[in-house]
Amino acid sequence: MADVDQVNSHSDEEQSEEEVPKGKDDSESEPESEGKGGDDDDYEPGGKKAARKPKASPKKRKTDDDDDSDEEWGKRKKVAVAKKGAAAGGGRGKKSAFTKSFKLSPELADVVGSDVMPRHEVVKKLWAVIKERELQDPSNKQYAICDDQLLKVIGVKRFRTFGMMKHLKDHFLEAA
């Protein structure tokens, strides 16, 4: 019975080898003369090569006035930028949520020097205070060590400066 199993398994292997490699043998047995032009006998100059498309020439900008004067060019550019800025909403009237001003707590206002300020400006001012007073931890610059005034705002003696906003969120009272 073991001999029969071996014979059957051997015949299965032969069948599977014959079925699977057929795809490989077809691609391996035929030389790829179509794409690479392997045979010299069938070579025809300009035969089956794909024609290259010529590159498109850069388009010329249309202007009302084609003078080459440098002074006029500068003036035209400034006028175009002014028109584009007005049309595209360069001076947006509405502030986004990131630039919205907030009324600050008295403790935070003492540190930054203003009662109303956007959040990103508060962080900038606090970084300036930390650098000015040399409050960064010398052993690990990611941390700051609070002095008495900053301790009232932050609430801990040593804090990670990249997580400053989680300590400051209670000091933003209302949108101004």
Structural domains of the chain in order of their starting residue, each with its CATH number: 101-174 (1.10.245.10)
pLDDT for 166: 94
∠ CA 125-114-109, rounded to 5°: 80
At 112-146, the pLDDT tens digits run 999 999 999 999 999 999 999 999 999 999 999 99
Q: What is the mean pLDDT of the chain?
A: 75
- Which range (23-27, 35-39, 55-59, 158-162) has the least confidence? 23-27
Radius of gyration of the chain from Cα atoms? 38
Please check whether residue 33 is in contact with residue 42, taking contact to mean a CB–CB distance below 8 angstroms. yes
Q: Quick check: 37 pLDDT over 60?
A: no
Please tell me the least confidently modeled range out of 25-29, 74-78, 130-134.
Answer: 25-29
The pTM for the full model equals: 0.47
